[in-house]
């Protein structure tokens, strides 16, 4: 299975995502904000990153831009609360900065597992997607 980094400032949401991924057999690292996420990425080189967009210290858009600016090609799933102010704009920005997929929170286990599986598929099978 894959080595996955989950970057989420809300402990309850992060814990739920981690439990779902570990139940699927993935090795999961956790980070509490974009700054911690970048540190964890460079320490552990995950195969996939799941990050919240609105976080303290360094938000998800900055984190995605920093990774893509450093030519990091690991697939990235960006997440955002469905009722967040300016959600459509922020989701579009996440894609523009290099996210491979976006999910609206609260995300279902099925939706999360399907998106992760899709992005971990062989490179030829990957595609940019927008899940709702």
CA distance 75 to 101: 8
CATH, range 3-126: 3.40.50.2300
Q: Considering only CA atoms, which of 35, 44, 26 is closest in space to residue 7?
A: 35
User: Tens-of-pLDDT digits for all 132 residues of the chain?
Assistant: 899 999 999 999 999 999 999 999 999 999 999 999 999 999 999 999 999 999 988 899 999 999 999 999 999 999 999 887 888 899 999 999 999 999 999 999 999 999 999 999 976 554 554 554
CB 101 within 8 A of CB 119: yes
In our burial notation (b when 16+ CB lie closer than 10 A, e otherwise), range 82-108 reads: eebeebeebbebbbebbbbbbbbbebe
pTM score, whole prediction? 0.91
CA distance 28 to 100: 19
């Amino acid at each position: 299975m894959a080595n996955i980094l989950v970057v989420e400032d809300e402990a309850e949401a992060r814990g739920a995502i981690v439990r779902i991924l570990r139940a699927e057999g993935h090795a999961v690292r956790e980070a509490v904000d974009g700054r911690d996420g970048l540190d964890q990425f460079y320490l552990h080189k995950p195969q996939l990153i799941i990050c919240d967009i609105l976080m303290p210290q360094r938000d998800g858009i900055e984190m995605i831009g920093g990774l893509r600016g450093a030519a990091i090609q690991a697939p990235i799933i960006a997440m955002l609360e469905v009722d967040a102010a300016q959600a459509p704009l922020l989701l579009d920005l996440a894609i523009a900065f290099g996210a491979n997929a976006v999910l609206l929170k609260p995300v279902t286990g099925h939706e999360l597992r399907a998106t992760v599986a899709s992005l971990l598929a062989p490179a030829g099978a990957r595609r940019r997607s927008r899940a709702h």
